[in-house]
Structure 1
Amino acid sequence: MTVQGTCDPGFSQVAEEFEANLASRGEVGASVCVIVDGEVVVDLWGGEAAPGVPWQRDTIGHVWSCTKGATALCAHMLAARGELDLDAPVVRYWPEYGAQGKDATLVRHLLAHQAGLPALREPLPPGAFYDWKLMAERLAEEEPFWAPGTAHGYHALTFGYLVGEVVRRVSGRSLGTFFREEVAEPLGLEFWLGLPEEQEGRVAPTIAADPPQIPPTFYIRAFTDPASIPALLLAHEGGYMAPGESDSRQAHAAEFGAIGGITNARGLAGMYRPLSLGGGDLVSREQLQVMAFTAVAGGDTVLAVPTHFSLGFMKSVDNRYLPPADSEGALMSATAFGHAGMGGSVGFCDPAARLAFGYTMNKQGPGLGINPRGQAMVDATYRTLGYQQVRGGGLWYI
Structure 2
Amino acid sequence: MAIALCVQRGLLNYTDKVIKYWPEYGQSDKENTTVADIMSHRAGLPALRNSNLSTHEYLDWYSVIHKLEKQKPYWVPGTQHGYHAYTYGWLAGELVRRVDIKKRTLGQFIRDEIAKPTQSEFYIGLPENNENRVSPIVTKVIEKQMFNVTTNSLFQQTLLPFSELDGFNDPIVHQAEIPAANGITNARSIARIYASLIGDLDVSKRLLNAEILKQATKSNTPENEPDQVLMQISTIFGMGFMTYGSVFNIIGPGTFGHNGMTVRTALNRFVSHYDQAKSDILSSTDAYCGSTISHASGNGSLMRLAPVPLLYHPAPLNAIHEAINSFKTTNASQQCLDSCRELLNSDQLYVPAGLSHDYWTTTTTISLLEPPVLAVMTGSYKHHNPHEIRASGFVIETMEAALWAFYHTNSFEESALKAVNLGNDADTVGSVYGMLPGAYYGINAIPIEWREKCSFQGLVQTIADEILTQPQQLAETGEKKVAPSNQTSLLYRSVLKVYNELAAFYSGTIKRRVLPCPKQYKSSQ
TM above 0.5: yes
Q: Which amino acid aligns with 1:233?
A: T
| Matching of residue 313 in structure 1 with residue 241 in structure 2 | yes
What is the percent sequence identity of the aligned residues? 35
Distance across 1 between alignment mates of 2:240 and 2:256 = 9
Q: How does 1:96-135 map to 2 (within 5 A)?
A: 96-123=24-51, 124-135=53-64
Is 1:148 the counterpart of 2:77? The answer is yes
Query: Which of residues 197, 201, 206 in structure 2 aligns to 1:275?
Result: 197
Unaligned 5+ segments in structure 2 are 279-525
Partner AA of 1:317 in structure 2: G
Indicate the RMSD between aligned Cα atoms, in angstroms: 2.5
Rate the CA distance shift 1:114–1:259 in 2: closer, same or farther, 3 A. Answer: same
> Using the alignment, how far apart are the partners of 1:212 and 1:317 within structure 2?
24
CA offsets 1:60-110 (integer angstroms, 9 cap, x no match): xxxxxxxxxxxxx00000001111111100001111100000000000100
Decide which structure has greater helix share.
Answer: 2
Corresponding position: 1:201 with 2:132: yes
> What TM-score, normalized by structure 2, do the two folds share?
0.48
Match of 2:262 in 1: 345
The 1:374/1:254 distance shift into structure 2, 3 A limit, reads: same
Partners of 2:217 and 2:230 lie apart in 1 by 22
Q: Secondary structure at the match of 1:204?
A: coil
1:284-323 map, 5 Å:
284-296=209-221, 297-298=223-224, 299-304=226-231, 305-319=233-247
Matched residue count: 269
1:383 Cα deviation after fit: 10
Could you give the per-residue CA deviations for residues 363-395 of structure 1, whole angstroms, max 9, x where no partner exists?
xxxxxxx23x5313146679999xxxxxxxxxx
The alignment status of 1:158 with 2:87, answered yes or no, reads yes
Which digits, 9 at most, give the CA deviation of each residue in 1:164-197, with x for residues without a partner? 0000000011100000000111111011111111
Is the CA contact (8 Å cut-off) linking 1:94 and 1:166 kept in structure 2?
yes
SS of the residue corresponding to residue 244 of structure 1 reads helix
| In structure 2, C-alpha distance between the alignment counterparts of 1:380 and 1:318, rounded to whole Å | 21
| 2:5–2:207 CA contact under 8 A, matched in 1 | yes
1:92 to 20, 36, 52: 20
Higher relative contact order (CA 8 A, sep 6+): 1
Q: Which moved more, 1:105-114 or 1:195-204?
A: 195-204
Counterpart-to-counterpart distance in 1, 2:116 and 2:71? 35
User: Residues 324-364 of structure 1, C-alpha deviation per residue, up to 9 Å, x if partnerless?
Assistant: xxxxx5423221111233xx222xxxxxxxxxxxxxxxxxx
Corresponding residue for 2:167? Answer: 245
What is the CA–CA distance in structure 1 between the aligned matches of 2:107 and 2:193, rounded to whole Å? 15
Is 1:331 the equivalent of 2:260? no
TM-score by length of 1: 0.63
Change beyond 3 A, Cα 1:197–1:98: same
Equivalent in the alignment of 2:448: none
Matched, 1:376 2:269: yes
Q: Counting strand residues as a fraction of each chain, which structure ranks higher?
A: 1
Deviation at 1:306, TM superposition (A): 1.8
Alignment of 1:348-367 (within 5 A): none
Summarize the Cα distance change of 1:262–1:289 in structure 2 as closer, same or farther, 3 Å threshold: same
Please say which of residues 106-115 and 241-250 is displaced more in the overlay.
241-250
**What is the letter of the counterpart of residue 101 of structure 1?**
D
